[in-house]
Each structure stands twice: as C-alpha cells, then as structure tokens.
Chain A
C-alpha cells in the first residue's frame, strides 16, 4: 500500500497537528511534524522546545495538538524527554501505567534549540542512551525571533544578526555538522533528511523508533520568510537543496553510513542560492569566487560522505 495511505490511516481521522495554528503561510515545519507523527503507529508524547512550532501552536487557550504535548523551555527539550522516558520505564516496571503499549517519546526542536542552546541537553540524553526520538526541524536560523543566525546557518547567508552589507557577506562562519556530532555519541540511529523527501523521512522515522536507544533526525525544512521566497515554492527550494548535494540524505545505523538518495543529475549550488533572497548578495558578479568556494566545499563534503558510505 502507498506509504501516504498508511500515514492517512495512522491518523485515524485525527491529525496530530490540526489547523488553526499561527505558523506562517507556507511554513515548512508541519510537513515534518505530520510525517514523523503519522509514521509512528504507537501512541506518542511530544516534547517541544521553545520556537516557532511551540509558540504558534499553543497560544492559551487554543492548542493545535491532538497528542500529549509538553513544553518547558528552549534548551532543555532533550532533558525533559529524558525525564518522560525514564518515568515510563520506572512506571512500567512498577506496573503503574494505564496502557500496555509503550508510548514513543518524540522531541521537536528547531536548529537553535538543537545546535546551539539545546546542544548540552541533547548530548547528555544521547550519552545516557534514553529510548527517544529527537527531531531537529532545521530551517537554519532563529526564525521565531526574527531570522537571527544560528550555528546551523550556512556560510554566506544573510540573517538579521549576520546581515549582508557593504562590509559583509552575511554569516562568516561555517555551520556545524550536527548530524556528525550526533553520530559521535555512538547512538543506534542517526539520519539526515529533508521535509520534501517525506517518503525517505518516513522510512527513517520507522527505523529510528525501532532502535533500542536514542535516535536523532536532522531534517532540513523551509522558512519562506527567513529564506526569502514565495511560500508556494517550498518543494522546489527544498528539492534543489538536496539535488545540489548541499544537504545529503543519509543514515548512520550503529555507526555504518548509508546514502539514501543520490541525485540523478546534481545541480550547481548557485541554482539553490538563486532561489532565496538570503543569498541574493552572493550572486553579484564580484562574489563569484565565494560561490565557487561554496560549490567546491559542497563537492568535497559529498565525496567524503560517499567515501564513508563505502559505496559508489
């Protein structure tokens, strides 16, 4: 049966995240949330870090969540999830839970709440081996507070705290390889995914929740406001990010790397940059060398990744 039909059936007519929230027109986050939660057949508890998703879906007295949901603060979603997961184990052992089926503990955090302020709590939770799924919806900046740069912002992107100007190319630093940081914790399952490759993401979610330990998914997704494009171009922008090999799709299962998608015809990074006004300054003729550097880096990192995957 088509995977999408499975996702529809798993909802049982009740979407985990329903309409009425105040995420932007064309926000790329709900696609990630619904793909993840609709893939998981068991009941779930969601722990959400402060950020766009949390703020826009839970303005009291409304809520867009049809599943149990906790928000505590910005940097501690992984720690809160550790507590929920431990509580389940403790209560299960003491035969004090209302139902027999284990509840999946799922964290949603933006790149700020994962790469930067959330890094410590995530690292601790991964090291302790809690059985939970941490999903970073990575839209590459602190979008909720007005598009400020994060550790996930790519080199050269213009944000409100790393704006392009006569003296600046935008963000001067490379972004962190958060997926590699997660892999370095020796957890059973880590993967990099993209929102518009929802099928690939859904398969990864299945593997993640089946893992006997922590699972980390780094999912690139769109922010039309922060990235600077018409909301309706979501699919085109994300697909180009993947097809230019800027954002490879792969998984690491018990330390073994595997590519899950190879673009049939890789496109130049410049094609992706051209779709977003946050990179408009890079496309000026005087910055051609910068774009060439970015292209070279993307190719270098792709080759390294393919080498780790051990396949051609």
Chain B
C-alpha cells in the first residue's frame, strides 16, 4: 500500500484514471465533475498518463467520441454530471446497445430546473433504463476503488457495457478524505489490457456496427443487452473479491451495516449512507435495533440480495435522493419490487434534492414517527 493521502473524491478518481492510463478520454466541463477532468488533464500534461484527451464541444459529443474510440479498439473514459448526462442521454442508451465498454465518472448533481449545481441523484436516475451499469460510492475511497474496478467490469466478455461510477457532487467530489491508493503497477496489473470482439480499426475483419433493426429483430437485441447487464452482477462479485485481495477492502453490490437483528432498516445510496451509519451507531448504543442497507450497485439492481438482507426486518425506510413526480421514487420502487410479498412494512422518503443537506436529526426523526414523503422540506408536511 502507498499509505493514506488527503484527497477529494474528484482527485481520487483522477488518480484512478491516471493509473488506468486509458487510451482516449473525451472531456467536456460541468460542475461538479470538473475537478476529475482537470486533475486528469494535469497528469497527462505532466506525462504521468499517456492518454489522448479530446476536448469535445458538448457532452453529447463526449459520449459519441467515446463510442467511436471504444469501438475502434481504444480503452476510453469520460466524466459528466446533471445536464451533461441529460444531454448525452440519447447516446448513453446507444453506447449500451452497441456494447461499448466505456467507463464514465458521474459527479451526481440535480437536473434543472431550476438550475442547481448541488447534489442529488436525478441525473443518474434519468438513465436508469439505458442499460448501463451504475455503481454508487459512499466516499472518496469507494469512488477510487470502484473506478479501478470499472474497466474490468465494463470490458468483461459477458458484460461489454458502459459502467458509470457515481459519487455525490460536492459532498464527495469536493470534500477531502483519507484515501489509500494502490501502487501504480499493482493498479495497472489489475486493470490489464483492453480487448473487444470487433474493433473497427481491425480492417482485415470489417464489421457493420450500429445497424437498423425492424420489429423482427429489435426486441431480441434488447433482451440480449438485458441479459448482459444481469450477468454483470456475477462479474462484479468476482472482481470485488479480486480487488479485495489487493486492497483489503470489500466492495459488493450492497453493504449490510448492522442489519443483524435489526427491526428497522434504512436503505440509501451514496454519501448519505455515511450519515446513516453514524445515526445507526448512536441508536444501537441507545438500544434501538436499527441497521442500514447501503446499495452500491443500482444497476443491475440486486433484488434477490436485497430481499435476503432484509428478510428478518420488520420495517424498511427507503431514502431517495431523486423524485419521480406523479409516481414512486426510483429506489423505493426497486426495493418495493424486491420485497413484494415479504410482509414487512415499507416506507420511503425523498430527501436532499438540489443539495439540501440531510442531518442526523432528520434521520432520527424519520424513525421516530410517521414518515413524510419528503423529509427536510419547508412547508406543510406531505404524507403517503
């Protein structure tokens, strides 16, 4: 190990990218992911990575150039947030359907409007149906670890899909924490060489990629793609084990935090899991039987593992940092589907939209009385 360094999540991911040393990185700026691309650009300018950076003229072109590079035969990464992810959404779907193993760092930020540069998960949720893998980091260390793991996951022959490594905007991207980096050669060895089935630059074996499909074939292509993201779960588990041998840190599709004997469980994504862990520790010390189920893999959603983890819990409260106006918030909808028939009580609360902080007191309040549909909101309380 190299010892602990004080790094923001953005810097940690820039280091991971430096160690991965991808062939091509298209970049377009948007708060709060810019520290990632700026940090990485400086590494390249100083010769610490040999990547070709392409300063594209929009995020739509960033993902488009990424597809071109990845399918040409180059390991490709990029980064975005919020409106950038929204703008490139069309191409994100296509990247998944073309099975382009692109790794993209996402600094989660609220979607406009109003325009807001702070954290929530609405940007990631916008592309939840696109077929890309989405992994959520709780802190800068996880952001680094997941970014190192991501190329292996994306490029695995059973997967061949874009992988989004998501970290909360500002809360993680801009906050400095102790982070342990692997030695460069260890990281490089773990990541390995890039290989895809049909590299477009392999002119001796020409292929037509990105076809037009009529109703007689489109449906089968979509199912094939669906099977690939489902298969990513097993690959993620294997890679997490392999990485743990190098780092001593266990990652997985989810983390069970003191769910043993818990009567009540909270479910959360991202940095809020850290806040909730502190509250769980306090409440446990006070004799309350509470635990946290932290999701790392939102796509593929580990429904069976979630159901198993919450099997003996009586009451579940899901925290959603994104809303779906007129419908069920995304994480709660997934958990409800996973728990259907289990008989446990399920509540959910939206929180933290547009960077509104969630305080430990808010979490305590959630567990103390009726669960509001939107915690921390000024104005009349709404209840389900």
Interfacial residues, chain A to chain B (CB-CB below 8 A): 43-45, 47, 54-55, 58-61, 63, 65-73, 75-76, 79-91, 93-94, 96-99, 103, 120-121, 123-124, 127-128
Contacts and interface: CB of A to CB of B under 8 A. Distances in A.
B211 A58 contact: yes
B64 A121 contact: yes
A88 B72 contact: yes
Given A76-B91, A84-B72, A84-B201, A90 B51 contact: yes
Given A84-B72, A87-B72, A98 B204 contact: yes
B368 interface: no
B72 A83 contact: yes
Contact of A86 (B54, B71, B90, B211): B54
B200 interface: yes
B73 A91 contact: yes
Interface in B205-257: 206-214, 217, 221
Contacts, number: 172
Interface stretch (B55-63, B150-158, B282-290): B55-63
Contacts of B24: 83, 86-87, 90
A76 B207 CA distance: 20
Nearest to A54: B212
Contacts of A89: 52
A88 B201 contact: yes
15 contacts: A59-B212, A71-B211, A73-B94, A79-B65, A80-B67, A82-B68, A83-B72, A83-B76, A84-B71, A87-B69, A88-B201, A90-B52, A91-B201, A120-B57, A128-B54
Given A76-B91, A83-B76, A45 B55 contact: no
B26 interface: yes
Interface string B167-182: 0000000000000000
B346 interface: no
Given A79-B65, A80-B68, A87 B60 contact: no
A83 B65 CA distance: 4
Interface of B: 23-24, 26, 50-52, 54-58, 60-62, 64-74, 76, 90-91, 94, 98, 200-204, 206-214, 217, 221
A68 B206 contact: yes
Given A83-B64, A124-B56, A68 B203 contact: yes
B91 A72 contact: yes
A38 to B, nearest CB: 16
Given A86-B24, A87-B68, A68 B207 contact: yes
B206 A82 contact: no
A128 B52 CA distance: 13
Given A70-B71, A93-B50, A65 B61 contact: no
Q: From DSSP, what is the main secondary structure of chain A's interface residues?
A: mixed
Contact of B209 (A43, A69, A124): A69
A43 B24 CA distance: 22
Contacts of B51: 90
Contact of A55 (B66, B73, B212): B212
Nearest to A58: B211
A44 to B, nearest CB: 8
A65 B201 contact: no
Given A54-B212, A76-B61, A90-B51, A103 B206 contact: no
Q: From DSSP, what is the main secondary structure of chain B's interface residues?
A: mixed
A208 to B, nearest CB: 19
Contacts of B90: 73
Given A87-B72, A120-B58, A124-B56, A59 B65 contact: no
A68 B201 contact: yes
B201 A45 contact: yes
Contacts of B213: 59-60
Nearest to A69: B208
Contacts of B74: 86-87, 90-91
A45 to B, nearest CB: 5
A72 B207 contact: no
B55 A69 contact: no
A248 B210 CA distance: 35
Name which of A79, A81, A91, A99 has the most chain B CB atoms within 10 A of its CB: A79
Given A68-B207, A69-B209, A72-B98, A98 B201 contact: yes
A12 to B, nearest CB: 13
Given A59-B214, A91-B201, A71 B23 contact: no
Given A60-B212, A87-B68, A120 B61 contact: yes
A104 to B, nearest CB: 10
Contact of B54 (A82, A94, A98): A82
Contacts of B214: 59-60
Contacts of B206: 65-69
Given A90-B52, A90-B74, A69 B91 contact: no
B66 A83 contact: yes
Given A47-B68, A83-B70, A87-B52, 4 more contacts: A61-B211, A84-B68, A91-B23, A93-B50
A7 B70 CA distance: 32
Name which of B62, B73, B210 has the most chain A CB atoms within 10 A of its CB: B210
A180 to B, nearest CB: 20
